[in-house]
A = this chain, B = another copy of it.
């Protein structure tokens, strides 16, 4: 698969996946995000970098939370935002996805933020439209969720300062998680020496070691001495499909409890991409503890999305 998100000068022209991004490009995004956080500290609530630009949130899967983060980030950059939930619109009239997108481009959309149930959807769109238009993948099937991967890495950088001395554990449904894939890619690129993935066997992908991670099917073992634990959300449908026995059983073996966090390093931070299932993948008091950085992740997510959007759209 050609890396169509980088142009001939090595600059980012879409954000489709973390794979293939250089450490330089990721750092450029982080430095830009830092600048937005600084502006905010100085009470600058809005910048006019994208005045007159139209950003289209095109969601083929419903996700109010993710859509809202992109909407807020775009408005803080002074862009105009169009929200389209495509289930309820012209797709139902039989129009192809490229016709829908090309129509929106003809209406002067400058960027599309795309959430789609099929892996590769954002990539397919980026390859088949006017090359001046920018695509940001906001989650495609089991493939990637690159802004989530970036904001998670940015959060770790904020609390741990550097990546090259860390042990990080990612816990939960590794097999079906685009978030996990994007996190693993980001941490590998940034030089994290030890990435562990912890999951029941039914939720661990075959050959996971090839991603540059160490698999564990025992949480108590896997969490030992880690600096960061990144929980994943448990999807209800995994239970329906009998991949896990029950919520209670899952919580007992793969839930992050106050007892279990004691095996990690004392200054270990706890992350979760949200929305959380309290009492399923994470004990409620752990989610609210001083080690949890779950809400800062969300705030950093706005800065990261502002950074990606402004870097892609600046002339």
Cα distance, A109 to B100, chains bound together (Å)? 30
Cβ 8 A contact of A104, one of B45, B68, B75: B68
Is B94 a contact of A72 with CB atoms below 8 Å? no
**How many copies of this chain are found per oligomer?**
3
Per-position binary interface string of chain A over residues 281-314, scored 1 when its CB falls under 8 Å from any chain B CB and 0 otherwise: 0000000000000011111011000000000000
Per-position binary interface string of chain A over residues 73-85, scored 1 when its CB falls under 8 Å from any chain B CB and 0 otherwise: 0011000101010
Cβ 8 A contact of A80, one of B69, B72, B298, B302: B72
Which B residues are CB-close (under 8 A) to A104? 68
A210 to chain B, nearest CB (A): 31
Per-position binary interface string of chain A over residues 54-73, scored 1 when its CB falls under 8 Å from any chain B CB and 0 otherwise: 10000000101100110110
A interface: dominant SS: helix
Question: Considering only CB atoms, which chain B residue lies closest to A56 in the complex?
Answer: B68
Question: Considering only CB atoms, which chain B residue lies closest to A64 in the complex?
Answer: B89
Q: Of A118-126, A224-232, A256-264, A270-278, which stretch is located at the interface?
A: A270-278
Question: Considering only CB atoms, which chain B residue lies closest to A86 in the complex?
Answer: B64
Cα distance, A276 to B93, chains bound together (Å)? 9
13 contacts between A and B (CB under 8 A): A46-B52, A64-B84, A65-B103, A68-B82, A68-B107, A90-B275, A93-B275, A94-B275, A99-B274, A99-B276, A100-B275, A106-B295, A107-B302
Does A8 sit within 8 A of B, measured CB to CB? no
Is B45 a contact of A107 with CB atoms below 8 Å? no
Cα distance, A222 to B231, chains bound together (Å)? 63
Cα distance, A107 to B54, chains bound together (Å)? 21
Cα distance, A296 to B88, chains bound together (Å)? 25
Does A22 sit within 8 A of B, measured CB to CB? no
Is A102 a contact of B295 with CB atoms below 8 Å? yes
Is A90 a contact of B72 with CB atoms below 8 Å? no
A271 to chain B, nearest CB (A): 13
Cβ 8 A contact of A295, one of B89, B94, B103, B276: B103
Is B89 a contact of A82 with CB atoms below 8 Å? no
Which B residues are CB-close (under 8 A) to A51? 45-46
A108 in contact with B299 given A84-B68, A88-B62 (CB within 8 Å): yes
Does A95 sit within 8 A of B, measured CB to CB? yes
